[in-house]
């Protein structure tokens, strides 16, 4: 008998009670500008650097959505990653990809800087209500190769 044979009769597979974290990556490109109207140009550049460029600039964002749960006894899945991918695309990527984050999207709250830090919170808030049968654990967003922000819903 094949050791990996699996049927409904198996009630307690080995790994049904272990917490596992699984991550789906998606990508989007977007423009933004970080600026405070009350500050002069010198201070804006001092605080925000190139992100204060008046005529916008873009980032190639890499988004990592991690959910956690116990593997389903029958499928071995914490989540159907195809379904998770569709949710991320529908609620986040279509909303942000090739957009100007200051002007084109209402994902980030009004009067809120479109920083990577604020984006992870906004992405969490938009996505969390749609996650079923597992828990959203982390939204991680790379703004550049060397900078990323993480949000755990705290």
Active site members: 51, 98, 143
| Closest to Ni ion by CB, 22 or 149 | 149
Nearer to Ni ion, 53 or 66 (CB): 53
Strand partners, 28: 61
Within 10 angstroms of residue 66's Cβ, the number of other Cβ atoms is 16
Smallest gap from Cβ 130 to Ni ion, in A, equals: 28
Nearer to Ni ion, 78 or 101 (CB): 101
The encoded tokens of residue 138 equal 């982390």
Residue 83 dihedral angles phi and psi, to the nearest 5°? -65, -45
Q: Is 76 left (phi over 0), alpha (psi -120 to 50) or beta?
A: left
Ranked by CB distance to Ni ion, the top (closest) residue is 51
Nearest approach in angstroms of CB 115 to Ni ion is: 8
Give me the least distance between CB of 117 and Ni ion, in Å please.
Answer: 12
Nearer to Ni ion, 51 or 127 (CB): 51
CB of 32 to Ni ion, least distance (A): 6
3-state helix, strand, coil in the chain (%, to 5): 30, 30, 45
Q: Give the DSSP per-residue string, 53-79.
A: -TT-EEEEEEEEEEEEEPPPTTT--SS
Residues lying near Ni ion in the complex (CB under 5 A)? 51
CA distance 77 to 68: 11
């Amino acid at each position: 008998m094949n050791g990996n044979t699996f049927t409904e009769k198996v009630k307690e597979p080995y790994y049904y009670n272990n917490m596992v974290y699984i991550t789906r990556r998606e990508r989007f490109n977007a423009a933004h500008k970080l600026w405070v109207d009350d500050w002069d140009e010198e201070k804006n550049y001092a605080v925000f650097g190139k992100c204060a460029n008046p005529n916008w600039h873009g980032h190639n964002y890499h988004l990592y959505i991690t959910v956690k749960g116990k593997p389903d006894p029958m499928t071995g899945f914490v989540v159907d990653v195809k379904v998770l991918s569709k949710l991320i695309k529908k609620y986040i990527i279509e909303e942000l990809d090739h957009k100007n984050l200051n002007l084109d999207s209402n994902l980030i709250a009004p009067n809120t800087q479109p920083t990577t830090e604020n984006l992870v919170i906004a992405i969490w808030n938009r996505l969390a209500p749609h996650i079923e049968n597992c828990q959203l654990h982390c939204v991680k967003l790379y703004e550049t190769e060397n900078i990323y922000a993480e949000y755990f819903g705290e």
